[in-house]
Amino acid sequence: MNDIQPGLPVQQQLDLLKRGVVDLVSEEDLKARLERGTPLRVKLGADPTRPDLHLGHAVILRKMRQFQDLGHKVIMLIGDFTAMIGDPSGKSKTRPPVTLEQTRANAQSYLEQCRLILRGEPEVLELRFNSEWLEPMGYADVIRLASRYTVARIMERDDFKKRFESGTPISLHELLYPLTQGYDSVALEADVELGGTDQLFNNLVGRALQRDYDQAPQIVLTLPLLVGLDGVEKMSKSLDNYIGLTDAPDVMFAGLMKVPDPLLDNYFTLLTDLPREEIERLLAGHPVEAHIRLAREVTGWLHPDADLDAALDRFRSVAKGGIPQNIPQVTVAAGELNEAGRVSAARLVALAGLEPSNGAARKLIQNRGLKIDGEVYADPQGSLSIPAGGLVLQKGKDKFVRVQLDG
């Protein structure tokens, strides 16, 4: 990202902060607080139920970085306590809770990845855990908090309404989630809360609770959920339509080259600093050139030392059916071989890290999704010997691993 200097005129700050935004409640409030000329407290809450981040998370982290570069303090709030409830936003059923220990372990990986985008100076970054104020609360405190909001208001939330009308169970602890998230804003005295569009209701609850606690209500700013590479669902690891924040430069570059054409505008707007005029010029030209520019901009931002020309050459080689150079290597222990010196093909795929289990590997092979040394391998029960030079396993178009025998 381009560094932004504090002291920009208020209107320029406002225009920058509004880029890519879906909901802003309210623009007048944000402008008034910017005009005060004092640093704002900008909150982003995250329940670290999964340790890995992708470019969908980068959309909001980029907005946080913009606030930092304008001289404001962003608060990375780790919802270690609320993660035990499980955020029901957008869910059609109760989400399984996780333990406090699990959330804190995931948080370490989460924070390391966030620092790829966020500045770490204490004057612009504050790290907090909501167990600080939620864990000490007693039963009477929870009752008092619950008295500040009505069931009717909670049931206005779209996912709760749909589940209630369809007869899908809603646990009482889920109804408390918006209140506990909203109370975080009270505890932190947040000026601004960021979130995806699925968090609008929860963030507005925080705004209402702050009024009830005699605080100035926070500005609520939401950003769109980045659609994944399938062009249909939001980016998600579980849907395998994602580009990881820590993916190697070649992998990230190749993933960005596969962004569906209709999403190019969205990706340029949310993940780059390119001016609107430049984006429109790229969109009016050849889609391949637009993809290359997108891949260069985003990969170069997250991997400033990467050889982007080499990444493009590798992508073109793979697109033509070739096997690229410098692919990851995995060594297979001799103990994995049977008496005939062979190993199950499914087991080899799992050992190479292309699938999480032997069963998933067999399904991949059965669906003709595996190539070995450039040729489709379609026997899910087959076995292989590993020659001295190793074997190149390929999943899909751009995931390659060379497997070699130990020793």
**CB burial string 187-222: b at 16+ within 10 A, e below:** ebebbbbbbbebbbbbbbbbbebbeeeebebbbbbb
Q: Is 390 left (phi over 0), alpha (psi -120 to 50) or beta?
A: left
- Reported residue count of the chain is 407
397 is in an annotated binding site: no
Helices (H) and strands (E) in the chain, counts: 18, 13
136 burial via Cβ count (<10 Å: 0-12, 13-18, 19+) = exposed
DSSP annotation of 96: P
| Contact indicator for 315, 398 with CB cutoff of 8 Å | yes
**CA–CA separation, 252 and 246 (whole Å):** 9
Query: For residue 332, what are the β-bridge partners?
Result: 405
The side-by-side arrangement of strands in the sheet containing 391-395 is 329-332, 399-405, 391-395, 370-372, 375-376
**Which residues neighbour 108 within 8 Å (Cβ) at sequence distance 6 or greater?**
51
**CA–CA separation, 45 and 222 (whole Å):** 12
**CA–CA separation, 297 and 278 (whole Å):** 13
Amino acid symbol at 353: G
Query: For residue 344, what are the β-bridge partners?
Result: 383
Measuring CA to CA, how many Å separate 28 from each of 11, 175, 216? 11, 31, 14
Residue where the block lists tokens 């595996």: 370
Torsion, Cα of 53, 56, 59, 64 (10° steps): -30
Query: For residue 375, what are the β-bridge partners?
Result: 372
Residue where the block lists tokens 């050992």: 351
| Contact indicator for 131, 81 with CB cutoff of 8 Å | yes
Binding-site annotation: residue ranges: 237
Binding-site annotation: residue ranges for ATP: 237
